[in-house]
Amino acid sequence: PEESAVDEAGVLHLGGVPVTELAEQYGTPLYVYDEAGLRRQIRRFIDGLNARWPESEVLFASKSFPAVGMYRVAAEEGLSVDIAGGGELRLALAAGVSPSKLHFHGNAKTDAELRMAIDAGVDTIIVDNTDELDRLERLLTKPQKLLLRVIPGVDAKTHASQATGGADSKFGLPMDQALAAIERMRAHPLLEFEGVHLHIGSQILDVEQFGEAVAKISTAGEFDVYDVGGGLGVKYTYDEVAPSVDAYLDTIVAAARAHLPSGARIMIEPGRAIVARAGVTLYRVTTVKRTGRTFVAVDGGLADQMDAALTGQRFEALLGNRALDPWTETSQLVGRQCESGDLLVDRAPLPEARVGDLAVVATTGAYGYTLANNYNGALKPAIVFVRDGAARLVARRETYEELLALHAPALEG
Ligand code: LLP
């Protein structure tokens, strides 16, 4: 995170708060966000896009971090919000995000969800398929703004599970079917077709791919709105190089100038690139085992960092209570879940770790909390925002009682 420093005793401070205090007060595993850094990153996107293409809108892809505390920050900073389901809709509304800032995504929206979104008055629904048009025709009683998701036919160079723009994607319609769907919307009085949406994938490190996607989408026709999705990658490991927000925006806007109508509105939907680097996860070291290799095991793992397994994402870590101690042992930083893929850092250059040390795993602000699950009976960790030397709890830790409460039908039966 931007607001981090190490004191004379070797303790890492985040947003001016020692990680040892955070762990003490809130327990571990703990998701910690540098709020000032988060807000600055949001401004980089909003100001950067507005300066280059004034008729534009930055949406936060909230699936990357759907916390009420985050929706509040997004609303305060003037971000619009992409929601992908009834749950995210409820969280965003509860946080006070204006429905006029909400854009509703999903490839399998139900009647109930569409009704919730329409009743709430969301700004745009991004239509994925023609079943959804059937539903909307049945449900709508007033005009509704719509975008149509099209498959641009760009094979993103990323992990297969993160590529969504290739010809065999389950998301959106191929170009020929898209044109028919657009005709259908244009012929219906309540279906207000505004333009097209695409999203080629996630954790994309080559910005040229975004330019390529903009060029491809322009072949669908001339519209008022082009939403070119999210997907900008971030630097996770020391050996990785990631493009800057400016390089990303430069590429998109250059492609827009070359291929899109000059009066069109451009939307982007970054998720990861807004939140990933503002967040770290604190873990307590519970076991240090020296066999052929050194395994440093912590009190969390893929249950709270699912991408370690889902996409094989690797992170970097340090010992937050001994951040000045030199690298003396190359260790496997592993979690406590019963999966061999439960590896957080491969060959971590750490001091010799001891039970009770605090492992700080960096760049975990995106897709960590949101994918957290109860594997091995794990509890969803708490979230804390730090800023100017103060910490505030924005989501508390799940409890064993809550876990048991779901099983009341069996327990009471
Ligand atoms: N827009 C749409 C329609 C999306 O589906 C996504 C992400 C985004 C925007 C934001 O993409 P981002 O800027 O965060 O890359 N579990 C996977 C990531 C799944 C991404 C899903 N869609 C992972 O953590 O790698």
- CATH assignment of the domain containing 52: 3.20.20.10
| Whether residue 92 sits in one domain with residue 185 | yes
Residue from 202, 306, 363 to probe ligand 1 pocket by mutation (most atoms less than 8 Å from CB): 202
**DSSP state, residue 100:** G
Band (1; pLDDT cuts 50, 70, 90)? confident
Q: What's the mean pLDDT in 90-101?
A: 98
- Residue 231 marked in a binding site: yes
Pairing of strands 17-18, 12-14: antiparallel
Band (248; pLDDT cuts 50, 70, 90)? very high
CA-CA-CA-CA torsion for 266, 267, 273, 279, nearest 10 degrees? 140
Produce one character per residue of 298-310: b if its CB has 16 or more CB atoms within 10 Å, e if not.
bbbbbbbbbbbbe
Q: What's the mean pLDDT in 53-76?
A: 98
| Whether residue 361 sits in one domain with residue 335 | yes
C-alpha 347: how far from chain center = 26
| Whether residue 122 sits in one domain with residue 92 | yes
Q: Flag whether 413 is in a domain.
A: no
Q: Flag whether 87 is in a domain.
A: yes
Band (155; pLDDT cuts 50, 70, 90)? confident
Q: Flag whether 410 is in a domain.
A: no
Band (163; pLDDT cuts 50, 70, 90)? confident
Given this model, what pLDDT does residue 79 score?
98
Task: Please say if the pLDDT value at position 165 is more than 80.
Answer: no
Token reading at 398: 């799940």
Cβ of 64 closer than 6 Å to ligand 1, yes or no, is yes
> How many whole angstroms separate alpha carbon 151 and alpha carbon 188?
23
- Residue 272 marked in a binding site: yes
CATH number at residue 379: 2.40.37.10
**DSSP state, residue 365:** S
Cβ of 41 closer than 6 Å to ligand 1, yes or no, is no
**393, 384 Cβ separation under 8 angstroms:** yes
Q: Could you tell me the distance, in angstroms and rounded to a whole number, from the CA of residue 107 to the centre of ligand 1? A: 14
Token reading at 252: 């998109």
| Whether residue 363 sits in one domain with residue 217 | no
- Residue 152 marked in a binding site: no
Owning domain of residue 299: 4-34+276-405
Q: Flag whether 185 is in a domain.
A: yes
Please give the backbone phi and psi of residue 120, each rounded to the nearest 5 degrees, phi first: -70, -25
Given this model, what pLDDT does residue 398 score?
98
Q: What is the pLDDT of residues 300-351, one digit of tens each?
A: 999 999 999 999 999 999 999 999 999 999 999 999 999 989 999 999 999 9
| Whether residue 325 sits in one domain with residue 228 | no
Which among 369, 303, 290 has a CA at the least distance from the CA of 342?
303
| Whether residue 340 sits in one domain with residue 215 | no
> How many whole angstroms separate alpha carbon 158 and alpha carbon 177?
26
Given this model, what pLDDT does residue 289 score?
98
Given this model, what pLDDT does residue 268 score?
98
- Residue 292 marked in a binding site: no
| Whether residue 318 sits in one domain with residue 245 | no
Residue from 70, 148, 269 to probe ligand 1 pocket by mutation (most atoms less than 8 Å from CB): 269
Given this model, what pLDDT does residue 413 score?
75
Q: What is the pTM of this model?
A: 0.96
Q: Flag whether 411 is in a domain.
A: no
Look over the chain and give the mean of its residue pLDDT values, rounded to a whole number. 96
Given this model, what pLDDT does residue 381 score?
98
Task: Please say if the pLDDT value at position 160 is more than 80.
Answer: no
Number of separate domains in the chain:
2
Give the end of a domain, one of 207, 241, 273. Answer: 273
> How many whole angstroms separate alpha carbon 199 and alpha carbon 152?
8
Cβ of 307 closer than 6 Å to ligand 1, yes or no, is yes
Q: Flag whether 412 is in a domain.
A: no
Question: Residue 259, class by beta-carbon neighbours within 10 Å (0-12 exposed, 13-18 middle, 19+ buried)?
Answer: middle
| Whether residue 42 sits in one domain with residue 162 | yes
Q: What's the mean pLDDT in 365-374?
A: 98
Q: What is the pLDDT of residues 186-232, one digit of tens each?
A: 999 999 999 999 999 999 999 999 999 999 999 999 999 999 999 99
| Whether residue 142 sits in one domain with residue 265 | yes
Band (77; pLDDT cuts 50, 70, 90)? very high
| Whether residue 189 sits in one domain with residue 71 | yes
Q: Flag whether 311 is in a domain.
A: yes
Given this model, what pLDDT does residue 43 score?
98
Q: What is the pLDDT of residues 33-61, one digit of tens each?
A: 999 999 999 999 999 999 999 999 999 99
Q: Flag whether 361 is in a domain.
A: yes
Cβ of 105 closer than 6 Å to ligand 1, yes or no, is yes
Q: Could you tell me the distance, in angstroms and rounded to a whole number, from the CA of residue 6 to the centre of ligand 1? A: 33
| Whether residue 56 sits in one domain with residue 22 | no
| Whether residue 48 sits in one domain with residue 26 | no
Q: Could you tell me the distance, in angstroms and rounded to a whole number, from the CA of residue 163 to the centre of ligand 1? A: 9
Band (153; pLDDT cuts 50, 70, 90)? confident
Given this model, what pLDDT does residue 125 score?
98
Q: Could you tell me the distance, in angstroms and rounded to a whole number, from the CA of residue 405 to the centre of ligand 1? A: 32
Residue from 64, 126, 305 to probe ligand 1 pocket by mutation (most atoms less than 8 Å from CB): 64
Give the end of a domain, one of 240, 273, 306. Answer: 273
> How many whole angstroms separate alpha carbon 20 and alpha carbon 65?
24
Tell me the sheet residues that pair with 226: 196, 266
Give the end of a domain, one of 226, 243, 273. Answer: 273
Q: Could you tell me the distance, in angstroms and rounded to a whole number, from the CA of residue 9 to the centre of ligand 1? A: 39
